[in-house]
Amino acid sequence: MPPIQEELRRRTRLTRPQVRIRRAEVVRTAEVTARIRRVTVGGEDLAGCAEGGLPADAWKFLLPPDGRGPVHLPVVGPDGMPGDEPGAVPPVMRAFTVRRFDPVAGELTVDVLLHAETPASVWARSAAPGDLVGLAGPRHEFFASPEAGWHLLAGDEAALPAVAAILESLPAGTAVVALVEADDEADRIDLPTAAAAEVRWLYRRGAPAGDSGLLEKAVRGLDRPFAAAQAWIGAEAGAVRSVRRHLLDERGLPRPQLQAAAYWKQSLTSDQRDIEVFTAYQAAVAAGGDPDDPALTTEADLA
């Protein structure tokens, strides 16, 4: 079986995100913790959403720019490409992880971190049944190679939905160490799994998110054979970069066995990051990189 990098490349080719914006409506919302809001969206356009899906797949949600009010979704022009209607304020795009997809009801559920007065946080707090959103994707994040001796998962609150989805998906008995950075005990959620999981919560206790160094410190403290590991990292860009470098340079983790993605970056909005990442992707493709290689997008700015 292929390592995670190779399989994600193959799946990306298969389910290559079409230039298609799906329309969906908020069906219901619920509180998971004081800082996590669960939002379920549904609609006919979601049919087939899960085809070729993998655990922790993410979709870009097209939301109103300030998080509330009506969203003006792009319309498909005569050239088959989506574009904004004249005078319409374009939506913002925010990535959320699939926590659940119900193919019968045609419903997709995401858990959104409420971290400030940002578009995603405001939207999730105020989302109400009937609100329109757009969806683009999916983006694959995880594949469990059966050849992995054990799995390392390292993530912060933005990646907590992904860690939860991955843990739920792992077969019984799979050895996994999950390191989760959060603010304090109030951020804890249940992480059900059939895997042989060791879950460690790492608390910042009021220190700012993004540069606590907790994930790197915890990974450095692991005494395990990394050559046989499959590692997955999702967190703030700087935290991901330092854990990734440590695993590749100091622990001998083979690069094809590592999936590392910045889930957010300090001081940059997701829109600014999209431009940064796209620019890095274009440069990597121009330098001969495989355009279907998800690592070009996820790792271009982590090197």
Ligand X SMILES: Cc1cc2nc3c(=O)[nH]c(=O)nc-3n(C[C@H](O)[C@H](O)[C@H](O)COP(=O)(O)OP(=O)(O)OC[C@H]3O[C@@H](n4cnc5c(N)ncnc54)[C@H](O)[C@@H]3O)c2cc1C
The verdict on 158 binding ligand X (CB under 6 A) reads yes
Contacting residue, 32, 58, 135, 182, with ligand X by CB under 6 A: 58
List binders of ligand X among 201-230 (CB under 6 A): 209
Measure the CA angle with vertex 151, ends 145 and 152; round to 5°: 135
Where does this chain touch ligand X (CB under 6 A) — which range of 7-15, 92-100, 243-251, 284-292?
Answer: 92-100
**What is the footprint of ligand X within residues 93-132 (CB under 6 A)?**
94-97, 110-113, 115-116, 118-121
Q: Does residue 135 interact with ligand X by CB under 6 A?
A: no
Secondary structure class of 92 (helix, strand, coil): strand
Residue listed under structure tokens 């009021």:
206
Q: Is 270 left (phi over 0), alpha (psi -120 to 50) or beta?
A: alpha
Find the binder of ligand X among 172, 173, 267, 286 (CB under 6 A).
Answer: 267
Task: Tell me the C-alpha distance between 63 and 230, whole Å.
Answer: 34
Residue 251 binding ligand X, by CB under 6 A: no
Q: Does 40 bind ligand X (CB under 6 A)?
A: no
Interface residue with ligand X, options 126, 145, 169, 269 (CB under 6 A)? 269
Total number of residues that touch ligand X (CB under 6 A): 30
As a whole number of angstroms, the distance between CA 101 and CA 95 comes to 16
Task: Based on the shown chain and the rule CB under 6 A, indicate whether residue 41 belongs to the binding site for ligand X.
Answer: no
To the nearest whole angstrom, how small is the minimum distance from the Cβ of residue 252 to ligand X?
Answer: 27
- Tell me how far the alpha carbon of residue 225 is from its chain's centroid: 27
154 vs 147: CA distance, rounded Å: 20
3-class SS of residue 47? coil
Please give the Cα distance from 282 to 264 (Å, whole number).
20
Smallest separation (angstroms) from ligand X to the CB of 279: 16
Is residue 140 a contact partner of residue 297, using CB atoms and an 8 Å limit? no
Identity of the residue, 161 or 226, whose beta carbon is nearer to ligand X in the bound complex: 161
Which helix H or strand E contains 32, and what residues bound it?
Answer: strand 22-33
Task: Please report whether residue 59 would count as binding ligand X according to CB under 6 A.
Answer: no
In the complex, least distance from residue 88 CB atom to ligand X, rounded to whole angstroms:
20
Which is nearer to ligand X, 3 or 119 (by Cβ)? 119
Nearer to ligand X, 189 or 268 (CB): 268
- For ligand X, the closer of residues 266 and 279 by Cβ is 266
Q: Which helix (H) or strand (E) holds 30?
A: strand 22-33
Given a contact cutoff of 8 angstroms between Cβ atoms, the answer to whether 119 and 67 are in contact is: yes
Binding site for ligand X (CB under 6 A): 58, 94-97, 110-113, 115-116, 118-121, 139, 141, 157-158, 161, 209, 261, 263-270
